[in-house]
Structure 1
Amino acid sequence: MNQADAANRCQRTSIARSTLFAALLVGWYWNPSSIDCFAQEPPSAPSTSALNDEPVKLLWRFRCVGRTNLETTVIRLGDVAEPIGVPTDVWTRLRGGIIGLIPVGQGRARIERDRLAQAVARSEGTEQPIEWIGPDMIEVSLRKQNPPRQSLAGPSPLQRLGDRPAPRRSSVQKVSAPNESSPTLSTSPTSTESAARPSSNTSVPNAMPVADPPSPHVVSRLESWIRMSVQRQNPELMKHYDVQLASSSENLAGFTQLQSAGGIMHTSFREAVLPPQEPVEQSTPIRRAIMVTGRGVDGPIDAQVVLQLKPHPMFVAPKMPLRRGHRIRVEDLTWVPVPEDQQRDDYSSDVDDFIGKEIVGLARQDAPLSVSAVAPPVLIHRGDQIELRVVGGGVRVTTMAKALDDGHLSQLIEVETTEPRRRMVARVAASGLAEIVTRSPRVR
């Protein structure tokens, strides 16, 4: 019984193994890689030919434009960026992509560089690597287009000719300018524009487009830029003059040319300006024209501007630092310019107020010297043995005394006689000499 059961189990086991082997064989036939029991060869490295067949992504470079002027409110990629190493067909497709619009009424717009990258990625539709060069912020301005202004003298001869009815063909062919072929009148816009163009052989005035005058904000900005440029290039001139621009009406033409500039590059005087050496009674402004070179979008902008140079008042100052007690001489003094906001009431431009006096205060080199910093020279110092002279009634008596105070010429000081020891007040007459003047007794 046990042998029969064992035989049955062996038979069932062999049948199960046969069935499993058949199933594995069928699965391997359809997809050999799905059977884990079969050993798979390790994946081989791709061949060189396969690597060469894959497309290599090249790096695209775009340079951003810092500032630009447009004639329309539509901002396209080609207006604010320049390609570097980008295929021509790709750039032809991308340059017309719309980036944004200039707000109506403002005339200006700012675009971030990240926005350009998003627009290029959206237009191309691929993850092409792009490198951006240039500023992070781009300023776009709307260029104003004004119709030509009509002169006060009335319409030009060409305009009056255009207003007349068209003459007959025969008369038109007879009208000709010297040294030119016979023109033909036409009512199309093209012929009107060609007729309005200036000609070197005719003296007919033209009505050219004139830019709008700059706003007060632009004028203030240009004035500050020009003053800073003059101060940077002529520092010595700024010490002697107060630089101001002439009236806006005189500099209107120059400001109109410079209103689109992004800064001032250079300024130069057309005539030499020399600083004054001595003070003048009336500081009248000096008018000088300068050439200003501005930094424009399309290149440098040259214009002429008129400046008013008002000399600073000049005051007396020492040529070198002077110590306390120094007696001032003529060769010790000079004049220095002082701006109006730095002037004081005790400054003087007269050297006679200082010559022969002593320094009692601060005296720095090339700094204005105040009247309170000097005093008459001290002829007698405290503790000096001096000669005391008593004058009265035609009699002079001299004795020795001791000075108890410092004193300059004609100053009253206290002295003490030796014998007898008495204190009295005397007037300084000279160095080491004091006098006491008494009145003669009157007889009634």
Structure 2
Amino acid sequence: MIAERHGFRGSGTQRRPVAGWQLVCAVGVWLGLFSSAAFAQQSDPWTLQLKPNVTVTSSIVRVEDVVQPVSIPDNVWDQLRKSTVGLIPTDGRPLQLMRYRLAEALNHSKLVTAPILWVGPESTSVRSNPVVQVAAKVVTTVAEVAPKEIDPQSKRLIERVVEKAMQDYENDFEYKIDWERLPIAQVEEITSYQRVAVPTTITAGVARFVLTSAVEGEKREVPVYLQINELPRAIVATQNLSRGQIIGPSQLQWKVIDSTVRSDHLATDMSQLIGQEVKRNVPAGRWVQQTDVGPPILVRRNDMVEVMVVGGAIVIRTGGKAMGEGSEGDLIQIETIEDRKRLLARVISTGLVEIVTRAPQVQR
């Protein structure tokens, strides 16, 4: 009756019904075998190798810096390799990493779903190389901020415009365009300049020129800075200068010193020459040297001079004869007319000398 109840019939030998607990056991064994096979498939060990002593370019040490993958799924390694495992000490000492410590850290990661087989050294030392790091940073920075160079055609155009504006000063000054201060973005697309604003006075130093143009009907002003230096100049005679002649402004002019000319003794101060006396002949067009001129001679040898004798508040005037020549302030010998006595006198002006005597002392 039981077989029938579970629907088992037969004309021959009857099958015995399977007990419920036996069926449960069979299913349990089958599931256990399946789970064991699946676990065995998932738990194939991954192999990682600890690198020997390494050098990094950052103070942060990551998994990929110290670990070499041997057998591990690529998708897992791509996520695991960027994980941070330590920091380089700030005092410059190397970081010591033990393999078992690294294994413990990775085992706590959710990315690790299989046992890890480690090979390689038991520990590793990690050093930082800041020189490499700084050098790489400097190269990157220079590349990022490298200034844009001016177009050669635009540069030549500016040079021609400035050269024309400086034509009137080429005999007095030399200049150099400061390209680093040129706003390169403003000169783009400019093919000509209509106007150049030049400083009212050109002197040595930095000068600002303003070049004006128009681009698509829009006015554009470009500032151009020049470093201007005065050319080395000296003074030449415009006419023959004779010995004893007093120099006037029309007899001198400036001239740029050629590189082949020695300028050690050339006169370079016009104010010191005007009113001076020529000591030796100077042909027209020749450089005037400092030794060619001197203070005017006010008293010449054998000139009759007026002699002032000053003693305290008393001044005595008499006549005398110059025994030498001298300029203002020079000391010369004179001879008195009456007793032909020779005295030392100082030249005051043309034909006038002075003898200074000590003021009388009051005896007590």
Fold shared, TM-score > 0.5 on shorter chain? no
Q: Could you say which structure has the larger radius of gyration?
A: 2
Give the structure with the larger strand fraction. 2
* TM-score normalised per structure 1: 0.33
